[in-house]
Amino acid sequence: MIQLILAMTACLVLAGCEKRAVLSTHNQAIQQESQWVETFFQDYAEVFRSKSRTRLLAKFCLPLTFLTKTGPIVFQDEEHLSANLDALLRRYEQIEAVDWKYTIKDVRTLGSGIYLVEIEWRFFDPHNELLYACDTSYFLAVEAKGGAKVMAIIAHNEIERYEQALKRKKDV
C-alpha cells in the first residue's frame, strides 16, 4: 500500500513539473510575441506624433477595415485612408492631445502571421493631463520581409470617450 501511495505521489509531482514546463514554454512564447508587438506600437505611436502621412500610411494594409459602434468603414485606397487619418489628427488637435501612451492588454495568435492585439490608449494634453482613455483592438499581419501592418481596427469606445473629452474642453 505504501508503494502505491509513493507511486501516486511521484506521478502527481512529475505531472506538476510537466505542467510547469509547458506553462514556462508558453509564457516565453507570449513574451517573444509581446516584444515585437511592443516595438510595433512604440513606432506606431511615434508615427502618429510625427504626423508623417507617408509613415502613417505605411503602417496599414489596404483594404483596411475600421469597425466602430456606428458600423464598419472599409478603406480601399490610400486617398481615402489618408483623408481619414488627417481627420483623426484634426480631432486630436481639437482637444489638444499632444501625446498618447498605450498598454498592451492581450496578444493572441489567430493564424500564421495574424495577431489580435488589445490596446488601451491614453491621450494627454500639453500639461500631461489625461484627456481620455479608450480600448482598441488591432488585427496585425506580420510581413515576410519583417515588420507588421494593421489589417483591421475595432474602436470599442473611442468615439464616446473622445466626445466626452471634447465636451469637457468646450465647457472650460
Query: What are the helix (H) ranges across the chain?
Result: 2-50, 53-57, 78-94, 158-171
Rounded Cα distance between 168 and 156, Å, is: 21
Q: Are the C-beta atoms of 155 and 136 separated by less than 8 Å?
A: yes
- Mean of pLDDT values over 87-94: 94
Residue 22: what pLDDT?
46
Interval 28-64: pLDDT, tens = 555 566 689 999 999 999 999 999 999 999 999 999 9
pTM of the model: 0.79
